Amino acid sequence: MKALNRMSISEKAELLHQFFPEEMHYLLAHIQEACRARVNAPQSRLDNWEQTGLKFERWMFLNQEIAESITANVNQIASNKKMFSKYLFRGDKALVTLLYMPIFINFWYPPESPFYYAYLLFFGNSLRNNRKAMSANPPSPIK
């Protein structure tokens, strides 16, 4: 197995899915709801989208795309680590997902839970520290 510090965001997402498959439906429901809330109330600034470095129009497009992808493919995404990574952690979609994940993690999991620790280990500062690395992994069309 590749060292964690050498893994891409997509590979870390696959690992999270592999270790915690039972949590995926809950995580997907949260991300979908967060994306829908932003699409339905674009004036809301609660999610601090500016820190992603994306233009607002791109941010809104990605929220819509992620929400629709989850709606159309929820069972495949929840049950397959490659699909989970593809739909939520490729290119700029990773920025959206990583902005919403801490809200879910902090609300539903105590700090001593394995899922909480795994999130911190895999993605703790991803949005802030890995913006360049995520940009180097350009989005690919979802087929």
pLDDT in tens, 21-52: 999 999 999 999 999 998 998 776 555 677 77
**Closest C-alpha to 85, from 16, 2, 5, 143:** 16
**What ranges do the domains of the chain cover?**
4-136
Q: Please give the model's pTM, rounded to 2 decimal places.
A: 0.81
The angle formed by the CA atoms of residues 33, 37 and 43, to the nearest 5 degrees, is 160
Higher pLDDT among residues 90 and 54, named by residue:
90
Contacts of residue 3, defined as CB under 8 A and 6 or more positions apart, other chains included, come to none
Confidence of residue 17 (pLDDT cuts 50, 70, 90): very high
Q: Cα–Cα distances in Å, from 45 out to 16, 40, 51?
A: 29, 12, 11
pLDDT at position 49 = 72
* pLDDT tens figures, 87-109: 999 999 999 999 899 888 888 99
pLDDT at position 78 = 97
Check pLDDT > 90 for residue 122: yes
Ranges of H-type helices in the chain: 9-19, 24-40, 56-79, 81-88, 93-108, 114-123, 126-129, 131-136
User: CA 127, 128, 130, 135: dihedral to nearest 10 degrees?
Assistant: 70
Q: Percent of the chain having pLDDT more than 70?
A: 83
Confidence of residue 131 (pLDDT cuts 50, 70, 90): very low
